[in-house]
């Protein structure tokens, strides 16, 4: 009698766990794109930053300077979330703030590489190297 109660209780807890995991959404048996997939459904803003930093890291030489941001061409900005995410995902490179890739910064003081998230980066001092659906990697000319 006692063992049957335990089995029923275990079955109920297993069913509750399956319902809970299903309601949070997948992926269950594949590697998630970012840690934010465990938080809930939908695409998060930093997913693209994480994906681009992972893809760009092998293409950028060790010690190179990099700026990572959402380009708002012609508008001063400070994309702190993307900057801090890039600092964590690019430990072999030197991540600089977005203003080091502005039009007014001389090319010799600019970041050597730019990871532009989403929109195109229109600074004439940079040329696109690689293009992905989430953004692009640029190098100073």
User: Are 99 and 77 found together in one domain?
Assistant: yes
pLDDT the model gives residue 66: 94
User: Are 62 and 126 found together in one domain?
Assistant: yes
pTM, full prediction? 0.74
Cis amide prior to 27 (ω within 30 degrees): yes
The first and second tokens of residue 120, run together, are: 């195109």
User: Are 129 and 67 found together in one domain?
Assistant: yes
User: Are 22 and 91 found together in one domain?
Assistant: no
User: Are 74 and 57 found together in one domain?
Assistant: yes
Question: Residue 22: which residues within 8 A CB-CB, separation 6 or more?
Answer: none
Can you give the residue range of the structural domain that contains 13?
2-38
pLDDT digits (tens, 9 = 90+) for 78-118: 778 889 999 999 999 999 988 888 777 777 788 899 999 98
pLDDT the model gives residue 131: 95
User: Are 25 and 68 found together in one domain?
Assistant: no
From 102, 97, 111, 99, select the one nearest 140 (Cα to Cα): 111
User: Are 29 and 59 found together in one domain?
Assistant: no
User: Are 29 and 54 found together in one domain?
Assistant: no
User: Are 122 and 83 found together in one domain?
Assistant: yes
CA dihedral (89, 135, 48, 53) in degrees, to 10, reads: -10
Q: How many domains does the chain have?
A: 2
User: Are 67 and 110 found together in one domain?
Assistant: yes
Pairwise CA distance, residues 103 & 59, whole Å = 24
**Residue ranges of the chain with pLDDT lower than 70?**
25-29, 32, 36-43, 73-77
The 10 Å Cβ neighbour count of residue 63 is 9
User: Are 90 and 28 found together in one domain?
Assistant: no
User: Are 32 and 49 found together in one domain?
Assistant: no
């Amino acid at each position: 009698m006692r063992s049957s109660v335990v089995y029923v209780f275990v079955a109920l807890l297993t069913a509750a766990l399956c319902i809970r995991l299903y309601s949070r959404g997948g992926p269950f048996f594949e590697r998630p794109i970012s840690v934010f997939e465990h938080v809930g459904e939908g695409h998060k803003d930093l997913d693209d930053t994480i994906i681009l930093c992972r893809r760009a890291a092998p293409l950028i030489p060790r010690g190179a300077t990099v700026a990572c941001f959402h380009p708002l061409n012609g508008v001063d900005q400070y994309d702190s979330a993307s900057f801090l995410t890039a600092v964590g995902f690019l430990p072999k490179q030197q991540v600089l703030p977005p203003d080091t890739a502005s039009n007014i910064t001389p090319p010799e003081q600019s970041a050597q590489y730019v990871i532009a998230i989403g929109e195109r980066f229109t600074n004439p001092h940079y040329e696109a190297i690689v293009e992905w659906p989430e953004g692009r990697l640029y190098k100073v000319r």
